[in-house]
Amino acid sequence: MAHALAELMSQGVEGRTVLVRSDLNVPLDGTRVTDDGRIRASLPVLEKLARAGARVIVMAHLGRPKGQVDPRYSLAPAAERLGELAGVEVLAASDVVGEDARARAEALRDGQILVLENVRFDPRETSKDDAERAEFAGELASLTGEDGAYVDDAFGAVHRRHASVYDIAQRLPSYLGDLVKTELDVLTKVIQEPDRPFVVIMGGSKVSDKLAVIDNLIGKADALLIGGGMGYTFAAAQGYAVGSSLLEKDQVENVRAYLKRAEEAGTEFVLPVDIVWAEKFDADARTEVRPVESLEEGEIGASGTGLDIGPKTRELFAGYIARAGTIFWNGPVGVFEMEAFAEGTRAVARAIVDSPAMSVIGGGDSASAVRNLGFTDDQFGHISTGGGASLEFIEGKTLPGLEALGA
């Protein structure tokens, strides 16, 4: 049985050092944070602990530095942004469990927050060797002194069997952070007790990344709306030519099988009926809107590539969203980073905002997309910080970080 953060707070944290696994894995443009959504989501638990007198040490990762110190993946910009947003003092260590981290942890005062450097700079964090991870977890735990505690508030990492997520929970009294608890409550309701109709929008580049999710949703969701790069594998499964669009040929037969099984299970696949067809993958490329059944027959022809859903598909998707009782969205339906191909994703976001349904944005690119397109978090029911963790939870997998906490 998982222990909630409220239980730790009731014991009193003043003067104690609390190690918190947060999710500060934010996108950067050089040293500038371009989307601080995960930092803002991490703030409430960190401030709650600090204001109650705890000495808070934050563990987090950024990117995939592969066990090497790489300045491109330093947490310094994220720590700086955290300090700008927080109502308490935030310090940053220049290493993970080295001399600077140990000295700063020992000197930490009640109410201060210390952010360690990227835990993935240490190869033991992600090691497949249990003993190596355990050793690293022990060094992290030692930063808390004699009466330390651990709080997991990084839902975006709970699907990883990493030292700062899994092994650390065996070294210290461990608690479920408010952010993780909220994610669990919301996603559990979506899967087990959705208000009907339950409409799922799936986008992103590769259908192979979402196969297990789709598999688990067949028979649970009322409608699966498919867009993005993965949509062209569905189009190919219907027998349509897709030019140079992103296509996973090895998944076409799997997709055909899913289409057949969904029909038998009462789940409707809603696929694009028209596409924004581009001469090339370029923001300034010549485009035309083509019906999905004749993508290669226009002026651009077979060398073209699909980069967004067309206006008829936007209307089609909006209709399903408007009638939904519960909405789960993971993955943009076009190349939203280029304004010429952002209209599909914008239309989906707008339809969700206008819907009275409970809505969950499944983290990752979807969360970045809605923010970059000018929408705010409070316009949606819940924006997950999970990304891959959200998908694995929807798949029905056991997540190591939650298992370690008894959740």
Q: Which residues are annotated as a binding site?
A: 23-25, 38, 61-64, 120, 160, 210, 306, 337, 363-366
DSSP string, 372-395: HTT--GGGSSEE-S-THHHHHHHH
Q: Catalytic one among 16, 21, 38, 171?
A: 38
Regarding beta strands 55-59 and 113-115, do their DSSP bridges make them parallel or antiparallel, or are they unpaired? parallel
Q: How far apart are CA 367 and CA 35, in angstroms?
A: 9
Q: Of residues 177, 364, 386, 401, which has the active-site annotation? A: 364
Residue in 53, 98, 325, 388 annotated catalytic: 388
* Residue stretches of the annotated binding site for (2R)-3-phosphoglycerate: 38, 120, 160
Instruction: List residues forming the annotated binding site for substrate.
Output: 23-25, 38, 61-64, 120, 160
Residue 249 half-sphere exposure toward CB, CA atoms < 13 A: 4
> Residue ranges for the binding site for ATP?
210, 306, 337, 363-366
206 is catalytic: yes
Q: Is 38 a catalytic residue?
A: yes
Query: What strands, in cross-sheet order, belong to the sheet with 274-278?
Result: 287-291, 274-278, 305-309
For residue 139, give the amino acid letter. E
Exposed (0-12), middle (13-18) or buried (19+): which is 340, by Cβ within 10 Å?
A: middle
The partner residues of 201 in beta bridges, in order of sequence, read 225, 329
Q: How far is CA 320 from CA 88, 198, 315, 397, in A?
A: 45, 10, 9, 28
Could you say which of 102, 161, 189, 206 is catalytic?
Answer: 206
List the beta strands (DSSP E) in 310-388.
326-330, 358-361, 382-383
Residues marked active site are found at 38, 206, 364, 388
